[in-house]
Amino acid sequence: MKILCDKQKLYDVISNVSRAVSAKTTLPALEGILLRARDNTLFLSGYDLDLGISASMEAKVTEPGEIVLTAKLFVDMVRRMAGETVSIESNEKYLTVIKSGFSEFTILGIPADEFPEFPTLNQVTPISLPQSVLKSMIDQTLFAIATNDAKPVQTGSLFEVGERELRVISVDGFRLAMRREPVASEEEFHFIVPGKTLSELTKLLGDEDEKTEIQVGNKHIIFKIGGYSILSRLLEGDFLDYNAAIPSGGVTTVTVGVRPFIDSIERTSLLISDRLKSPLKVVFGENQIKMSCSTAIGKAYDELECQLEGTDLTMGFNNRYLLDALRASGCDQVKLVINGPLSPMKMTPMQGESFLFLVLPVRLKAD
């Protein structure tokens, strides 16, 4: 293989493709990036058997061929090279010379046939969404995905298509996040995408209206974003019946500014840490939210204005769970609907139902 390509473009592509490369594995090829050169195009892939990212770019291909290069080393080499173009040449013994400007590296590659093939999708169901919409849906639900493997199915987000609407739902046992958007699909189906995939996906998604093509198979899914294809296995299992978890109605409705609420929680939480845990005591009443906490090193108190309709309430919350939901709202104001001191608190936008967050309260000790 012998190619010449633009250094910056190569660096951008391998940086993104390397997100799917295994950090540690017994199969050396999975720690590498597959390069395939033909017809003046360089195809690049990373794959850890759960997540795969592939892309292509223009290159001057003098000799077609394919090889696997160790991802971390390859990315670091290209990043530090000073030239504007990079030449890559490998021989039949997989010895690979990488040159740019006055820099030259010689490394040993891995045969391309040791790199696993991406699985082929059967019975594909397509969906199409603007990049900005998909990015927003992921960003507003990613925070509520479970991070432990106690219930593996909850380490991903449920994508539910029905009634010409796409719903993305995440739960972790302490909170729930749901995001809705209209979608042009007459079919009804659902699938669960791992949180790791969604985290990497949102880094590749832009804020433009360019479409993201989604192909859903039985066990895998492919997202086509710009020049990238992101393949992921799907999680299997029964997701939580989220509709049953959402309380209906409410005895108290609170309207509050998001930024002032965040600032007040952060001030009151200064005494709380991983070592010094304490629930945040939140009193909703008299058009004020009063917050306090007490730990081994002292006490904190703060308050802010709100608009309250209904019954005054005193509740306990995990400060981080409240902050995550407020930051994910993307609103200036939110509406909080509460059914009682031990009932999950609903957080919604002021208008419409584009998102719904549930935060479970913490039982407070008697003073």
Q: Where are the domains of the chain?
A: 2-114, 125-244, 246-359
> pTM for the whole thing?
0.92
* Per-residue confidence (pLDDT) for residue 202, from 0 to 100: 95
pLDDT band per the 50, 70, 90 thresholds, residue 340 = very high
User: What backbone phi and psi angles, to 5 degrees, belong to 176?
Assistant: -140, 140
* Per-residue confidence (pLDDT) for residue 341, from 0 to 100: 93
In angstroms, how far is the first alpha carbon of the chain from the final one?
74
The rounded mean pLDDT for the chain is 95
Tokens of 191: 């699938």
CA distance 316 to 281: 5
Question: Which of 173-191 are b and which e, b meaning 16 or more Cβ less than 10 Å from the residue's Cβ?
Answer: ebbbbbbbbebebeeeeeb
Common-topology check for domains 2-114 and 246-359: yes
Tokens of 281: 């005591």
211-266, pLDDT tens digit by residue? 999 999 999 999 999 899 999 999 999 999 999 999 988 899 999 999 999 999 99
What average pLDDT does the segment 74-98 reach? 96
| Residue 259 bridge partners (DSSP) | none
* Per-residue confidence (pLDDT) for residue 88, from 0 to 100: 98
- Helix residue ranges per DSSP H, the chain: 7-17, 71-80, 131-139, 195-204, 242-245, 258-268, 319-329
Pairing mode, if any, of strands 333-338 and 252-257?
A: antiparallel
Asked if residues 170 and 141 have their Cβ atoms less than 8 Å apart, the reply is yes
CA distance 333 to 256: 6
Top-tier CATH class for 246-359 = alpha beta
| CATH number for the domain formed by residue range(s) 125-244 | 3.10.150.10
Provide CB contacts within 8 A for 48, sequence distance 6+: 20, 21, 22, 25, 30
Beta carbons within 10 angstroms of residue 295's beta carbon: 15
* Per-residue confidence (pLDDT) for residue 365, from 0 to 100: 83
What average pLDDT does the segment 97-101 reach? 96
Closest CA to 254 of 232, 284, 283, 224: 284
pLDDT band per the 50, 70, 90 thresholds, residue 25 = confident
181-184: Cβ within 8 A, 24+ apart: 181/129, 181/133, 181/137, 181/354, 183/127, 183/129, 184/128
pLDDT band per the 50, 70, 90 thresholds, residue 23 = confident
Closest CA to 322 of 202, 156, 144: 144
CA distance 291 to 361: 14
Res 319 pLDDT > 80: yes
Asked if residues 47 and 116 have their Cβ atoms less than 8 Å apart, the reply is yes
* Per-residue confidence (pLDDT) for residue 367, from 0 to 100: 53
Asked if residues 163 and 200 have their Cβ atoms less than 8 Å apart, the reply is no
pLDDT band per the 50, 70, 90 thresholds, residue 185 = confident
Res 93 pLDDT > 60: yes
* Per-residue confidence (pLDDT) for residue 286, from 0 to 100: 87
DSSP reduced 3-state for 223: strand
DSSP reduced 3-state for 240: coil
- Farthest CA pair distance, the chain: 79
CATH topology of domain 2-114: DNA Polymerase III; Chain A, domain 2 (3.10.150)
What average pLDDT does the segment 169-188 reach? 93
Angle, helices 195-204/131-139, rounded to nearest 10 degrees: 140
Residue where the block lists tokens 């990212």: 53
* The length of the chain, given as a count of residues: 367
* Per-residue confidence (pLDDT) for residue 288, from 0 to 100: 96
Closest CA to 287 of 315, 309, 258: 309
117-137, pLDDT tens digit by residue? 999 998 899 999 999 999 999
267-296, pLDDT tens digit by residue? 999 999 989 889 999 999 989 999 999 999
* Per-residue confidence (pLDDT) for residue 153, from 0 to 100: 94
Residue where the block lists tokens 């195809």: 43
